[in-house]
A and B are shown apart, each in its own frame.
Chain A
Amino acid sequence: MERREGHGAVTSTFSALHPMVASWAQQRLGCPTQPQLAAIPAILSGHTVLLASPTGTGKTLAAFLPQFSRLAERIDRDELYPRPTVLYVSPLRALGYDVEHNARRPLREMGLLERPGGERAERRRGRLRERAIRTGVRTGDTPQVERRLMMARPPHILITTPESLALMLALRTYRRQLRHVECVIVDEIHALAPNKRGAQLALHLESLEENCGGRLQRIGLSATVAPLERVGAFLAGVGRPCEIIDARELRRTTLRIAVPFSGAMAPMAMVSRSVGREIEGVRGALVFCNVRSQAERVAHDLSGEGILGPASLDPDPRGGEDVQRAPAAGLPERRVGVHHSAIERSLRHRVEAGLRSGELHAVVCSSSLELGIDVGFVERVCIVGGARGVAATLQRVGRAGHVPGGIAEGVVVAQDRDDIIEAAATRRLIADGVVEEIAIPDRPLDVLAQWVVGCVVPDRELSIQDALRIARRALPYAALDEADLRDVVAYLAGGGAGGERAHVSRVAFDGTVVRGLGREAASAYYDNAGTIPDTVMVTVVGKDGEAIGRIEEDFAHRLQAGDAFLLSGRSLRVVEARGAIVRVAPHHGKPTVPRWSSHMRGATEPLAHEIGRLRRECVEVLRAGGVRAAACYLRERYGLEGEERSHVVRYIAQQLAVSDVADDRHAVVEIYRVDGAQSAIYHTCIGRRVNETLARAAAARIHAAIGANCGIASDDNGFMVSLPPRAKLADAQWAGLLHARRLREDVMEGLLNSYLLRGQFRHVANTGLLVLRRTGGMRVTRQSWQAERIFERLWRADRRFPLIRETVRHVLHDLLDFPAALRYVAELPQELRVIHPPAASPFSFGIVTSSFADTVVVDDRATLVEALHERILALTGDPEAVS
């Protein structure tokens, strides 16, 4: 694999393009950007190219200009036929429309775009030739009329999503058109490679390659991601070369830390006020939150407090009008929108448009706006809490100052002292150029099953050897075993499980060749292709039947009468939960059911490691040279100054006074006794995914040892195990709980009774076409299929069933991080240091309060943390102020 650094002859870059394209580029763009400089010649030479550069560096044009040039040359040669030669695949439907818009404008200005009703194809020499270029978008949203039009007059540049590509390849007419594709552009490849959508795309790119006779040029566009070689191999396929253009460091990114609190944690209102100050007077602002309920809360505060004016984009669909204009007496009319994946698509689009047009002053979002949809000019990016990773931080901050060469500045609004440390560590890693390594799912069998069906519907055939050959060229399946493929095919052919056959098959199989079963059976594929779980929303209504908001079906399904939960910052008690409606009454007190907890992102490995290093070195310096030396160290290595630095020094000093500091090398166990119940906090500093894995094993081991069911909670810095009243473990037992022996079995034991495994089985069964999302034109509802119970039955019948194995793999490797957990415990000393702190130690505040896992209203959490902090201050005295 070659690497090409971003330099070359400036003048010749554009002049290598077709004259019409070149003169447009010289006039409109002037100088090519670095990525364009390197990528355009590479693309023109026909190589497979991965271009990694930050948002706003002219990436998309770098990929498209050579395509325009080639199409223009075809026109000159009189060889432009009505069929797609360029395929553009993007992970977001909305991005597809954006890109079409952005491709049509230059084409129009170059005079190459087909005008409606203008120039028409001319028939010459008996074949259809064309004089102008058409573009088209084919996604799940494309109306039937447009699809038919596209069939009759296929576009030359076809824009689509991985899911629609999969469907098109399974339909004869599209397949015939797609035979002429010469170049496929995969945008935002970093958002696809690490998940099942990427696995699906990798397989279908190979199907496309087969369909095109193996001469496809592939172009991947990526934001900051690492390692590029791995993403390059994902793009190119196993054994094919890929030219990598690394222009990742082009944009300078700075991160500022805002600390609104003076004690230990900021209540939500204080956080919102701080965000408000940060975006005051700014033209366009994006505010990222880590959980959706928090996004709703911040947006509510921002518009409610009058910081930004009186009106807001209300996510509530009542009345159909999303923008509620309150009379703005004397105040500038400025509005705040909310954007997260649980908000309806049409409303989300309106919020995006609102930000683009400047109608909205700020948008508060979850990770939903991390991807590259054009949101117009964003002057300021705020990250509430922290992004829990370097790539995510760069992606978020990169949304600001969306112009080539601009400096991207982001502000982290810290909610507590851990956030300050996280932001400081992130800043250090950005400066060092360290980015998390992308993990590519290893042979997900559910996606494989779906692909096999897609290859033979409705009545084609595919030999098992061909399937193996094609699949193994896709990077996620490079190591695919023939036995695994055969297991999958045997299941699809009605082989059943545990010795009992199923009566429904998706394919036929005679031991060598897989065959389609005709139109009717094929509808299972056409109706269900894709790997994204449907998020179905359930309406929450009050006593009088008024709609209060909506929650995910998955969450609604777990609610029972009497449960209390949070919605849009309100505490509600369930009166009745059935079907598509949850009836609630106001609740005064703490919620009892956690919300969104499964969506919480954990710190990535390098970030957790850097946080551990900061803690370790700060402790060393503090012990050797005192507060002043520690302050010096924090300034030099982490650029921490003033108040934010005092917070960190005080935090660590307080922790040392009552306990010990766990870092990237040492774990510490703290034992507490509250109301007669014993609990232990393992401080590990290794990230949420690993901590959650270890917590489940610990719970299973305790159950095996003393028969007690314990509660668990985990965050990035550690995990907590709480015993039921009267149960007790000796210090030595606590100290010896984390060992590598039978770790996998114990984690599995802990998982078997959890919702995590069963809930994930639902998605795996859907993707693997074991149970359909839609059948006979109807959606199979949560009510009508009990994933949990089918999982139990299948688990009893056959643990080796391919989709059971996939569920376990997905949970252990993609959601939790079993391999890292195993590595971690294998390196731990035999016995951990056990401490009995006199009061909850400062490092445990987060986990102690989060052990209610979001059940505590954030404001209550802040109150609780401050109360815990007061106790620590009483015990230790305030270490002298540092600056």
Chain B
Amino acid sequence: MSEERHALLDGVAGLTPGVLFLERTRTLVAADLHLGYEEVVGGALPLWSTTEQLGVLARVAHSLRANEVILLGDVLHGARMSAQAARCIRNGLAELAETGCAVVAVAGNHEGRTRGAEVLGETVESVVRDGWHLLHGDRPLARKGRAIIGHLHPSLRLGGSRSAPVFLYSEQLIVLPAMTPYSPGLSVLGAPCSRALSAWVERPGTLRVAAISGDRIIAFRTLAALRAAIGPRRK
């Protein structure tokens, strides 16, 4: 299976598994993997999402000849898991590194900032690549600048539990969709999403939207335009 690549901005591409590629430094960015999910929620289930997501990342990193993979926070769903599960995740991350790229884990709220260290090793609060600040997004950016964040799990809700993950982007801010298959996401048309976004950009409505639908990326216009077209009608 090959991934569809869609140019979001100059030098920045979105790919169908919901990852971002910064072309100048050949950096692959993936947010909110929530590895270990099946077990952290108390399940006696195989860690499907761990093996599958890390497998996809390794494949994409290889085909793009990426120099580096940045995991943009909430790499783990939680720190409470069995020793075997922790080993499974560590092995998966090691295999990813074996494809020849550096793996950098950014801290997220789900790791409890530092408690995940046992599994993830050292994490960083933020890094800078291609002139962008990369951070999880649960805390504001200390300096002024362009940011790439995760955390919000932006999506278009399609009714029931079905949803399509989306990228939100502008020259100032890129929000990555969650890579985990288990999150229905936060509706980009709702007030909570707008509120969260307004901490990052002055007018969230001007952000552009690209949705992932199966093996395609569908680009829409701005969030404001989308909301006007299909959002909740107000009386």
- Interface residues, chain A, CB within 8 Å of chain B? 491-492, 494, 496-498, 500-506, 524, 558, 560-562, 573, 575-576, 578, 587-588, 755, 758, 765, 769-776, 780, 784-786, 788-790, 793-794, 797
Contacts and interface: CB of A to CB of B under 8 A. Distances in A.
Contacts of A491: 44
A219 B190 CA distance: 57
Contacts of B97: none
A492 B45 CA distance: 10
Given A575-B191, A576-B192, A797-B48, A790 B43 contact: yes
B157 interface: yes
Given A771-B41, A780-B42, 9 more contacts: A500-B48, A504-B85, A558-B160, A576-B190, A769-B44, A772-B43, A788-B160, A789-B161, A789-B184
Residue from B43, B88, B189 having most chain A Cβ neighbours under 10 A: B43
A74 B41 CA distance: 52
A679 B140 CA distance: 54
Nearest to A754: B160
Interface string B35-56: 0001101111111110100000
B126 interface: no
Contacts of A524: 42
Contacts of A769: 44
Contacts of B88: 503
A772 B42 contact: yes
Contacts of B157: 560
Given A560-B187, A561-B191, A758-B161, A506 B46 contact: no
Interface stretch (B23-31, B117-125, B227-235): B227-235
A69 to B, nearest CB: 48
5 contacts: A497-B46, A562-B232, A772-B42, A789-B184, A790-B38
Contact of B235 (A504, A588, A765): A588
B213 to A, nearest CB: 17
Nearest to A758: B161
A492 B43 CA distance: 11
B43 A504 contact: yes
A721 B121 CA distance: 57
A789 B34 CA distance: 14
A107 to B, nearest CB: 44
Given A503-B82, A789-B182, A780 B41 contact: yes
A785 B43 CA distance: 9
B160 A770 contact: no
A785 B157 CA distance: 17
Q: Which of B42, B88, B157 has the most CB of A within 10 A?
A: B42
Contacts of A770: 43-45
B80 interface: yes
Interface string B141-163: 00000000000000001001100
A573 B233 CA distance: 11
Contact of A786 (B51, B183, B231, B235): B183
Contacts of A578: 192
Nearest to A776: B80
A553 to B, nearest CB: 14
A558 B158 CA distance: 11
A788 B183 CA distance: 10
Contacts of A492: 44
B84 interface: yes
A447 B95 CA distance: 40
A503 B47 contact: yes
Nearest to B51: A500
A561 B82 contact: no
Interface string B214-235: 0000000000000000011101
Contacts of B39: 502-504
A502 B42 contact: no
A790 B182 contact: yes
Contacts of B187: 560-561
Interface in B177-221: 181-184, 187, 189-192
A576 B42 contact: no
Contacts of B84: 503
Contacts of A573: 235
Q: Most A CB atoms within 10 A — which of B48, B80, B81?
A: B48
From B44, B181, B187, residue with most partner A Cβ within 10 Å: B44
A793 B190 contact: no
Nearest to A500: B46
In order of increasing CB-CB distance, the 7 nearest A-B pairs are: A562-B232, A772-B42, A500-B46, A775-B42, A788-B161, A503-B84, A785-B41
Contacts of B41: 771-772, 775, 780, 784-785
B52 to A, nearest CB: 9
Contacts of B183: 786
B207 to A, nearest CB: 18
Contacts of B231: 562
Nearest to B87: A503
Contacts of B191: 561, 575-576
A587 B233 CA distance: 12
A773 B42 CA distance: 8
Nearest to A589: B235
A497 B45 contact: yes
Nearest to B43: A771
Contact of B45 (A496, A575, A773, A784): A496
A497 B160 CA distance: 26
A504 B183 CA distance: 22
Contacts of A780: 41-42
A794 B189 CA distance: 30
A871 B68 CA distance: 72
B235 to A, nearest CB: 7
A590 to B, nearest CB: 13
B166 to A, nearest CB: 16
Nearest to A796: B48
Given A503-B82, A789-B181, A562 B233 contact: yes
Most chain B CB inside 10 Å of its own CB: which residue of A498, A503, A561, A780: A503
Contacts of B42: 524, 771-775, 780, 785
A793 B189 contact: no
Given A561-B190, A758-B161, A784-B41, A502 B46 contact: yes
Contacts of B46: 496-498, 500-503, 797
Contacts of B181: 789, 793
A755 B49 CA distance: 23
Contacts of A497: 45-46
B45 A502 contact: yes
Nearest to A801: B45
Interface string B50-88: 010000000000000000000000000000111011001
A765 B43 CA distance: 9
A790 B189 contact: no
A502 B45 CA distance: 5
A779 to B, nearest CB: 10
A771 B48 CA distance: 15
A506 B39 CA distance: 13
Contacts of B235: 573, 587-588
Nearest to B183: A786
Contacts of B48: 500, 793, 797
B164 to A, nearest CB: 14
Nearest to A585: B235
A192 B25 CA distance: 66
A501 B42 CA distance: 15
A797 B47 CA distance: 12
A576 B41 CA distance: 25
Interface in B8-25: none
A188 B235 CA distance: 51
Nearest to A753: B160
Contacts of B47: 500, 502-503
Contacts of B160: 558, 755, 788
B91 to A, nearest CB: 12
A579 to B, nearest CB: 10
Contacts of A784: 41
Nearest to A498: B46
Contact of A560 (B43, B81, B190): B190
